[in-house]
Structure formats: structure tokens, C-alpha cells
Amino acid sequence: MPSCYDKESEKPKDKKMSRLNIWKEEWDEAEKGWEERAKVAKEKYPLKGLKVLPQMTGITVETARHLKWKSFKWMVMHDDEREILKGFLHYPFKYFKAFLKSAAQTKPYQRNGDFFLYGVNSLEEFEGELGDPNSFLVLGFSYCHKPFECPSGRFSSECCHDLNHPVCQQCFIGKATHFLNPHQSVVLYIPTIHYIGGKIFEYVHRYPDKKILFIITACELTLEMFGDWGNMVNIQGIGVRLDGRICNTMEAFALSEKGIKPGLTVVLDETKKKLMDLIRLRNRMCAERA
């Protein structure tokens, strides 16, 4: 399998598919080109995948008991780098009050199929928020969604998204990264819940006058556990539910947070299409404001 190219010394051969230009191209043509490249790459270097999509419950009955307390304990006891504590201490009274308000709710979100809505009442409302000229979008992908063959490693916050690499050419994460207009946006590859929590605090405090929006893929258990923390810092967005070999127990989640994740998670095809539609909408609105 070819290695990831050195981005400092080698440029992508296909300029049309470069991350800086893709959002300016005709979308349908560019997406068709991507799928054609993915098909060719798959024929030469087929990736390991799920032969059968397992039918797993999102959260087991035992795990669902006292889940808010389990989430709070995890965030506090496993904050090894103090990302969450340092962020919380910026505005401790404000954040504590907002956390209690969210925790008092039965659910910290509203749900529409595979989409968990935080701080918005519908997908249509979130689409409107994407057009806010004062917004900053965080697009995040859980590491367990990476291919087994990922040249940057699965349990990693890195992603080389090499246009000339046969793995990256087949990877939905690589596709989304290249299609998103980087203006007022950032793409993150998430190894742990504390990593993304620390990054959210970072952007909230770096851009106090901006509205922080997010689209993040995660297992249903994670989306359930940590919604109160997102509401605490008053960010709005969508959690995209992963399918496949998900974590649906605290034991599996704890192992996953250490990089022990032998199974592969996936985003269902219809959900992928909707996620790409949201990226397309964001790009169009950015282009109109440019």
C-alpha cells in the first residue's frame, strides 16, 4: 500500500480536487469525479469493511441507567490533560449554571433519525444557522469511523487526506474534508471525548463574538452522554449517529477511549448524502458572502 505523500514537498496531481479549489467547482461534477476515483482505487486496493451491517442497540439497558452521572464522572476523572477543567474555569459560574439547566432535561437534544439536534429544533433551523456570516463551523469525525488502513493511523487526531492515496480516495472523511470550504470552518479527527471537548472550549474562547456551530459523527452512546456539555457552552449543531460496530456499553466506550476499537463504524448512505448536502449548503452561503 502506498504511503501518505509528504505535503511539504509534493503537491496533489489533480489540481481540480485540491481542498482549496473544490468548493469553487460545479458541485455535481466534482462529486461525480470523486466517486469515479474512489471506484478505481477500490478495484486496485479494496479496503476492509463490514460484510454485514450488525443490528446493535444504540445503548444497552444497563448502560442507560444513571447515564448522566456516568458521563459527569468520566469527564472529571479522566481529564488527564486538564482540557475540560481549564476550559470550564474561564467562566465557572456561567458554565455550571448552563450545565445544571441542561442536565435537568430528560434529553439534552431533539432527534431526527440519525441526527441529534443540540440547541436547534430542526434540521431546517440548523441550515439557516449555517448561513450566519458570524458563524464558525466545526466538522468532526470520530476516529473509529476511519478505515483500518488509514495512513495517518486510526487512533489519531491526524488525517493526511492525500488525494493520490488509494485509501484516502475511498474514505468518506477524506471526501468531506476536501469538499468543505475552509473559510470560517475547521475539520477535526477525534480520538477521545476530552480532545473534542478541549477543542470546543478553545474555539468558544478564541472567537467569543462568533456563533460556534458543529457537525460531529459519534456513536449514540457518546451523543447521549455528552450533550449536556455541549449545551453548557451554548454551541448549536448536529451529532451524526454512527452505525456498525458501535460502542453501546461503558466498557466498550472506555476501551475505545484508549484506542482499543477492533470494530469499524460507518455512516449510512442516506445519512452521508444529507451530511454532504449540509456541507454544500455551507459552501454556497460562504461563496455568496465572499
**Per-residue pLDDT tens for 40-66?**
999 999 999 998 999 899 999 999 999
Residues facing residue 236 across a β-bridge: 213
pLDDT in tens, 115-174: 999 999 999 999 999 999 999 999 999 999 999 999 999 999 999 999 999 999 999 999
Residues facing residue 112 across a β-bridge: 115
Question: Could you tell me the residue ranges of all domains in the chain?
Answer: 21-289
Name residues of the chain where pLDDT drops below 50. 5-13, 15-16, 20
Q: What pLDDT does residue 10 have? A: 39
Cα distance between residue 151 and residue 112, in whole Å = 34
Q: What pLDDT does residue 18 have? A: 53
Residue type, 60: T
Q: What pLDDT does residue 8 have? A: 40
Q: What pLDDT does residue 27 have? A: 87
Q: What pLDDT does residue 231 have? A: 93
Q: What pLDDT does residue 266 have? A: 95
Q: What pLDDT does residue 106 have? A: 87
Q: What pLDDT does residue 5 have? A: 47
The model scores a pTM over 0.85: yes
